[in-house]
A and B are shown apart, each in its own frame.
Chain A
Amino acid sequence: MSSIRCNDLCKTFEQGGETIVGLDHVSLSIEEGEFVCLSGPSGSGKTTLLNAMGGLDTPDSGRIQVGDAVLTDLSRGQLADMRLQNVGFVFQAYNLVPVLSARENVEFVMQVQGVDARQRSQRVQEVLAEVGLEGLESRLPAELSGGQQQRVAVARAIASKPKLVLADEPTANLDTRSAAQLMGLFVSLNQRGITFVIATHDSRVMGYARRLVKLQDGRMISDEAQEPTAMVV
Chain B
Amino acid sequence: MNVGSRLAWRNLWRHSRRTWLTVGAMIFCNVLLVFMISLQLGSYGMMIDNSLGPFTGHAQIQHKDYLDDGKMRQSVPAAAALAQQVRGDIGLESVSARAVGFALASSEERSFGVQISGVQAAYEPLVSTLPGLVAQGRYLSESDNDAIVIGRVLATNLRATLGDEITFLGSGRDGSFAAGVATVVGIVDSGIDDLDRAMAHVPLGWFQEVFAMGDHGHQIVIRFADIDAVTPGLAALAPQLDLGDELVLLDWDALLPGLRQAITSDMASAWMMYGVLVLLVAFSVLNTQLMSVLERTREFGVMLALGMKPSRIARLVGMETLMMAALGLSIGVLGGAAVVAYLSVAGFHFPGMEEMASQFNLPDRIYPEVSALGLLWGPLTVFVMSVFAALYPALRIFRLRPVPAMRAV
Contacts and interface: CB of A to CB of B under 8 A. Distances in A.
B11 interface: yes
Nearest to A83: B307
A95 B403 contact: no
A80 B304 contact: yes
Interface residues of A, number: 26
B298 A84 contact: no
A97 interface: yes
Interface in A71-128: 77, 80-85, 87, 89, 91, 95-100, 104, 107-109, 111-112
A217 interface: no
Nearest to A109: B306
Interface string B105-120: 0000000000000000
Give the 7 A-B CB pairs with smallest separation, nearest first. Answer: A84-B307, A99-B10, A83-B307, A111-B3, A95-B302, A57-B403, A80-B307
Contacts of A112: 3, 306-308, 312
A97 B307 contact: no
A190 B216 CA distance: 108
A87 B402 CA distance: 15
Interface of B: 2-3, 6-7, 10-11, 14, 298-299, 301-309, 312, 401-403, 406
A4 B45 CA distance: 76
B299 A85 contact: no
Contact of A97 (B2, B302, B406): B302
A109 B3 contact: no
A121 B185 CA distance: 89
Given A51-B403, A83-B305, A109-B306, A99 B3 contact: no
A56 B403 contact: yes
B406 A95 contact: yes
Q: Is the interface of A mostly helix, strand, loop or mixed?
A: helix
B406 A109 contact: no
Nearest to B12: A99
A81 B305 contact: no
B80 to A, nearest CB: 79
Contact of A91 (B304, B309, B406): B406
Given A109-B307, A112-B3, A56 B402 contact: yes
Given A83-B307, A111-B3, 5 more contacts: A57-B402, A89-B306, A97-B7, A100-B7, A109-B307
Contacts of A107: 3
19 contacts: A56-B305, A56-B403, A77-B309, A80-B304, A81-B307, A89-B305, A89-B306, A95-B298, A95-B299, A95-B305, A97-B302, A98-B14, A98-B299, A99-B11, A100-B7, A111-B3, A112-B306, A112-B312, A156-B306
A217 B396 CA distance: 34
A136 to B, nearest CB: 18
B306 A99 contact: no
Contacts of A111: 2-3
A156 B7 CA distance: 17
B395 to A, nearest CB: 16
Contacts of A91: 302, 305, 406
Nearest to A110: B3
Nearest to A54: B305
Select the residue from B10, B299, B307, B308 with max chain A CB neighbours within 10 A.
Answer: B307
A25 B303 CA distance: 30
A107 B7 CA distance: 13
Contacts of B312: 112
B307 A85 contact: yes
Contacts, number: 62
Contacts of A83: 305-307
B340 to A, nearest CB: 38
A188 to B, nearest CB: 23
Select the residue from B14, B303, B402 with max chain A CB neighbours within 10 A.
Answer: B402
A101 to B, nearest CB: 10
A109 B305 CA distance: 11
Select the residue from B2, B298, B305, B309 with max chain A CB neighbours within 10 A.
Answer: B305
Given A56-B402, A108-B3, A112-B312, A97 B305 contact: no
A112 B401 CA distance: 18
Contacts of B7: 97, 99-100
Select the residue from A77, A95, A96 with max chain B CB neighbours within 10 A.
Answer: A95
A172 to B, nearest CB: 16
Interface in A7-52: 51
A97 to B, nearest CB: 6
A83 B11 CA distance: 25
A104 B299 CA distance: 14
Interface string A160-188: 00000000000000000000000000000
A100 B296 CA distance: 14
Nearest to B305: A56
Select the residue from B6, B11, B302, B304 with max chain A CB neighbours within 10 A.
Answer: B302
Contacts of A108: 3, 303, 306
A56 B10 CA distance: 27
Contacts of B298: 95
Contacts of B3: 104, 107-108, 111-112
Contacts of B10: 99-100
B307 to A, nearest CB: 3
A40 B218 CA distance: 106
A89 B406 CA distance: 13
Select the residue from A57, A77, A83, A99 with max chain B CB neighbours within 10 A.
Answer: A99
B246 to A, nearest CB: 76
Contacts of B303: 97, 108
A95 B306 CA distance: 11
A39 to B, nearest CB: 21
Contacts of A51: 403
A215 to B, nearest CB: 18
B403 A84 contact: no
B299 A97 contact: yes
